[in-house]
Amino acid sequence: MSRKISDSTVRRLSLYLRALESLEAEEGGEAGAASVSSRELAARAGTTAAQVRKDLSHFGSFGKRGMGYRVPELAGRLRRILGLDRSWRVALVGAGRIGAALFEYADFRRRGFEIVQVFDVDPEKVGRRWNGVTIEDGSRLEDRLAEDEVEIAIVAVPADAAQEVVDRAVSAGVRGILNFAPARLRVPDDVVMEDVNIVMELEALSFALGRDPSGSGGESS
């Protein structure tokens, strides 16, 4: 058991879960050896066996020595650990291109992230229905977030509007922010924020291509 879990460990847990689910799917109805070793799980998740065991050891002992891990059991444990054994009420703020793409992204729902509210400031968009959810006016943000006890807000608005959106969401009780705006936003210590910054990813690519014109050290696996 443990203290502070590193971000890299958490991300790997997601990978392990996906690997386990694809194992479950492959085995299909066929019961049989629904077990997997740290070595095989590592291969599927692109890491090492020792890393898998160390990561899991932070949360307990899930395996059987000599046997490996029971696939469905470990998957269940990981879901519990990651907080995926429940559903999350999510609001999408910003119904532009990115917002639209995110809304349509079916994997969210499959994972328990349910987009229950959508906001925009464009009067053209307000009132439209997206697959059962009506786009609401941005001015109603606080009221509506609090009303439905939304827990996570996805921020897909222009950079210069993002801080205001975040402040208002936080004041309405939102405790998690997924930020797509290319801006450094501040949140109180008890609010968790993740940034998705695609330009930054491209810049990292550009850097790696520039100084590595042929050979050594790619990011494989």
Partner DNA sequence: AGGTGTGAACACTTTCACAGCA
Partner DNA sequence: TGCTGTGAAAGTGTTCACACCT
* Alpha carbon distance 118, 133 (integer Å): 7
DSSP state of 6: P
Q: Which of residues 42-61 bind DNA (CB under 7 A)?
A: 47-51, 53-54, 56-57, 61
Choose from DNA, its own copies, none: what does 129 bind? Cβ within 5-8 Å by kind. Answer: none
Pick from 24, 46, 64, 80 the residue near DNA by CB under 7 A. Answer: 64
Instruction: Tell me which H or E stretch contains 201.
Output: helix 198-210
Q: What is the smallest separation between the CB atom of 121 and DNA, expressed in angstroms?
A: 37
Which tokens is 207 given? Answer: 């850097």
Closest C-alpha among 126, 120, 123, 129 to residue 97: 120
Query: Residue 179, interface with DNA (CB under 7 A)?
Result: no
Query: Residue 7, interface with DNA (CB under 7 A)?
Result: yes
Closest C-alpha among 110, 112, 129, 109 to residue 120: 129
Choose from its own copies, DNA, none: what does 217 bind? Cβ within 5-8 Å by kind. Answer: its own copies
Pick from 13, 17, 23, 69 the residue near DNA by CB under 7 A. Answer: 69
For DNA (CB under 7 A), the number of binding residues is 26
Residues in CB range of 184: below 8 A, 6 or more apart: none
Q: Residue 25, class by beta-carbon neighbours within 10 Å (0-12 exposed, 13-18 middle, 19+ buried)?
A: exposed
Query: Residue 14, interface with DNA (CB under 7 A)?
Result: no
Nearer Cβ to its own copies, position 67 or 202?
A: 202
Choose from DNA, its own copies, none: what does 172 bind? Cβ within 5-8 Å by kind. Answer: none
Rounded to the nearest 5 degrees, what angle is found at the Cα of 102, between the Cα atoms of 98 and 105? 145
Q: What is the smallest separation between the CB atom of 185 and its own copies, expressed in angstroms?
A: 9
Nearer Cβ to its own copies, position 147 or 203?
A: 203
Report the interface residues with DNA, using CB under 7 A: 4, 6-9, 37-39, 47-51, 53-54, 56-57, 61-69
